[in-house]
């Protein structure tokens, strides 16, 4: 099944059963400090679609999809590089009205964390393995701010874990 076909039938509730069979269980991956990563066996399009659904299934709206892999491939020659970093890579940006309000009521400076971002990528040397993840928000400031930011981190981890089949 193609990703386009799966998108068309997503509203019918069929998608979760189809993709949960197609994707192998995720494993935690080594990550830079402050980043959570999971590696998943499957096609980039299927894992990316699972990531999208994990956001939408929570009633959240994706504000922007950043096509990072495409941009890097397009601009490589312009900056003097021919290295292929990703076969595909995307980041999805979104907010949660409820959590964002709590975060910013706790400290207006927390606007720096919004919108929230999750990502998926596949590298040429590991085709069929897709990495999904997010950058954890710094839990700083007052106890109220720390709690609100921890709640956002929990949401981001739920979304990425769901997309990874964990």
Q: Is the pLDDT reported for residue 66 higher than 90?
A: yes
pTM, full prediction: 0.81
Interatomic CA distance for residues 50 and 20, integer angstroms: 9
CATH 3.40.50.1820 fits 25-163, yes or no: no
Decide if 94 contacts 66 (C-beta within 8 A). Answer: no
The per-residue pLDDT for 31 is 79
**Packed helices 44-56 and 143-163: angle between N→C axes, nearest 10 degrees:** 140
- Per domain, the residue ranges of the chain are 25-163
- pLDDT tens-digit readout, 22-46: 444 455 667 789 999 999 999 999 9
């Amino acid at each position: 099944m193609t990703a386009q076909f799966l998108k068309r039938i997503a509203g019918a509730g069929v998608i979760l059963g189809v993709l949960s069979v197609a994707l192998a269980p995720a494993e935690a991956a080594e990550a830079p400090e402050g980043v959570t990563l999971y590696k998943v066996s499957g096609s980039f399009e299927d894992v990316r679609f699972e990531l999208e659904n994990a956001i939408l299934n929570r009633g959240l709206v994706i504000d922007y999809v950043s096509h990072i892999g495409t941009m890097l491939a397009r601009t490589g020659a312009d900056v003097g590089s021919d290295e292929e970093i990703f076969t595909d890579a995307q980041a999805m940006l979104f907010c949660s009205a409820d959590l964002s309000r709590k975060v910013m009521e706790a400290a207006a400076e927390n606007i720096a964390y919004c919108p929230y971002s999750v990502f998926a990528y596949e590298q040429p040397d590991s085709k069929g393995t897709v990495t999904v993840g997010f950058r954890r928000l710094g839990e700083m400031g007052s106890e109220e701010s720390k709690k609100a930011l921890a709640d956002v981190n929990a949401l981001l981890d739920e979304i990425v874990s769901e997309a990874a089949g964990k």
